[in-house]
Structure 1
Amino acid sequence: MAKKSIEELDLYSILDIKLTATESEIKKAYRKKALLCHPDKNPDDPKAAETFHELSRALEILTDKAARDAYDKVLRAKEAAKLRHRELDSKRQKLKEDLERRERDANLSSAKVLTDEQKLAAEIARLQKEGSRLLQEEQQRVKEEIQRTLGRLSEPVWDSNLNRIKIKWSVNKNDTNNGGYDENNLRRFLKKYGEILALIVSPKKKGSALVEFATKEASEMAVEFEKGLPDNPLTLKWVNDRPILTTKKKVTEPSLISDRDYESVVLTKMRQAAERQRLIEEMMKEEQGQ
């Protein structure tokens, strides 16, 4: 498909801005759309490069005063022509078009008066020859932002589900006090290292518990330093022998439920109950396999 000329494009619609938009508003609109349609972000979309190119052309022209003035003049002329066209019947329109064609031919032959379209073409040619510093800066800014986003997605992150810690201590099978440990005092020992996402004492096997911390640092400190009661020390070990890091998942569309709604008291309790039950089931499966 042949590339459209500037006269055929509505540069304001491409950037989704008003005709009165300031340079700051133009650049902001460009960045917003360019981040979505940049070819680096859409490698499987054959139209991404063309769309990005049109955005760049729109930015280049509308942020250059002389080029924008020339484009606006052509745009106003086209709108006025459309209005006149609607007001004329087909016969009068044909006569008008013939007259305008003869006038254009006369202007071209005289080579003394430039049409609005020719003035716009001259401004575009000037921009292409000089190179648009602003366009290059904005394109580089968009590219860097995309690279930062892709880089963040590949950064290693902590997943507490993959990094549970097994807690063991000595206990006699007839000891109703479970060796001096229950969920409350285990939590008291462990909370100094950081936020605890889940903690469950085995309901079946005495002297055993599982804990999940919110951060890698809290988990590592607990494993290294926590000893529990002096007369019955704790042993903390990774369930998977060592810490495991994963990578961020792609950002999905935002949820319709806000964070505040999600963290309401009722939903928080439901989530904690579900997590507790899940840990109990996993602990019992693990103990059955031993």
Structure 2
Amino acid sequence: MSKKKIEDLDLYGILDIQITATEVEIKKAYRKKALQCHPDKNPDDPKAAETFHELSNALEILTDTAARAAYDKVLRAKAAAKLRHQELDSKRQKLKEDLERREREAGSNVNLTDEQKLAAEIARLQKEGSRLLQEEQQRVKEEIQRTKKRLNEPVWDSSLNRLKISWKADKNDESNGGYDESKLRRFLKKYGEIVALIMSSKKKGSALVEFATKEASEMALELEKGLPENPLKLKWVNERPILTTKKDIPVVSSVVTDRDYESLVLTKMRQAAERQRLIEEMLKEEQEKL
């Protein structure tokens, strides 16, 4: 157990739960906290192990009926004592403390105090071991390992894997070889979500497309031919697909408050506009190389 006295710790506060919390709520709170402060996730934090140990103590005691009852009794006694202390003036408080001291010195320990009962329950837990605590700690460790594994798995970043589209079109051809953005979208959208599609404003017969998924990109590359009389040619801008890992992609919190929503929408709009601008610049650079 922790070097700190259990009766001096706020076990409910450590887990951020109410004193009325059920065992299910206690376990849920433990898992959430443990995943955040586990030493394996915080190797540079010297206090991580101590914090995790306090969480384990809280789970161990609050999920054991007898230990929790003893702890709650001490809490109630302390709360009542605190209230009495507030009501007593300094003189009466001193008299009370002197009386309690004399009673202790006189050996009035035939019956166990609430604190001693709590200590006995904690000793029992130490002796028996806590299967529940071990199981919860193992679940947390496994979850951390799964998270690390997922972060190292290859993932698709559409911004790194755009396709260049080309077709025959004379520079003075008003119809641009029979293609416009609407027609290109009609041909391409059947393969999956299109993140961006830009047609060259200077060079006829040229466009760039960005699909949301690897599968959509590969199917379009392999299958799409466009108009029979003027087929489309698709190829990777970077010559081949590029995969990255989740740990290389900035993490955006999935928890969005009402206050954040407007800001998030504006940010996404700016990102979409920036993506369009970057694709247009890529097209321009491609044209200048010719």
2:43 is the alignment partner of 1:40: no
Match of 1:289 in 2: 289
Q: d(CA) in 2 for partners of 1:271 and 1:57?
A: 46
The residue identity in structure 1 corresponding to 2:132 is L
Q: d(CA) in 2 for partners of 1:201 and 1:156?
A: 30
Cα deviation, residue 274, structure 1 = 5.3
Root-mean-square deviation over aligned CA pairs: 2.7
Match of 1:202 in 2: 200
| SS class of match (1:198) | strand
2:102 is the alignment partner of 1:102: yes
Q: d(CA) in 2 for partners of 1:226 and 1:137?
A: 53
Match of 1:20 in 2: 20
| SS class of match (2:44) | coil
Cα deviation, residue 281, structure 1 = 2.4
Cα deviation, 1:116-141, whole Å, max 9, x if unaligned, reads: 22221111011011111111222222
| SS class of match (1:70) | helix
The residue identity in structure 1 corresponding to 2:123 is A
The residue identity in structure 1 corresponding to 2:100 is E
2:83 is the alignment partner of 1:83: yes
The residue identity in structure 1 corresponding to 2:169 is V
Q: d(CA) in 2 for partners of 1:27 and 1:115?
A: 29
Match of 2:144 in 1: 146
Q: d(CA) in 2 for partners of 1:33 and 1:280?
A: 46
Q: d(CA) in 2 for partners of 1:106 and 1:70?
A: 25
Contact 2:14 2:55 in 1 (8 A): yes
| SS class of match (1:19) | coil
| SS class of match (2:82) | helix
Q: d(CA) in 1 for partners of 2:288 and 2:116?
A: 84
Distance 1:120 1:47, change over 3 A: same
The residue identity in structure 2 corresponding to 1:8 is D
The residue identity in structure 2 corresponding to 1:69 is A
The residue identity in structure 1 corresponding to 2:165 is I
TM-score when normalising by structure 2: 0.86
Cα deviation, residue 57, structure 1 = 0.6
The residue identity in structure 1 corresponding to 2:130 is S
Cα deviation, residue 195, structure 1 = 1.5
| SS class of match (1:44) | coil
Match of 1:93 in 2: 93
Distance 1:18 1:231, change over 3 A: closer
Distance 1:31 1:166, change over 3 A: same
Contact 1:16 1:29 in 2 (8 A): yes
Contact 1:30 1:55 in 2 (8 A): yes
Match of 1:10 in 2: 10
The residue identity in structure 2 corresponding to 1:95 is L
16-25 vs 96-105, which moves further: 96-105
Q: d(CA) in 2 for partners of 1:274 and 1:83?
A: 62
Distance 1:172 1:90, change over 3 A: closer
Distance 1:262 1:231, change over 3 A: same
| SS class of match (1:26) | helix
| SS class of match (1:102) | helix
Alignment of 1:1-290 (within 5 A): 3-107=3-107, 112-248=110-246, 249-253=249-253, 254-255=255-256, 256-258=259-261, 262=265, 275-290=275-290
Distance 1:271 1:19, change over 3 A: closer
Contact 2:171 2:203 in 1 (8 A): no
Q: d(CA) in 2 for partners of 1:272 and 1:116?
A: 64
59-68 vs 166-175, which moves further: 166-175
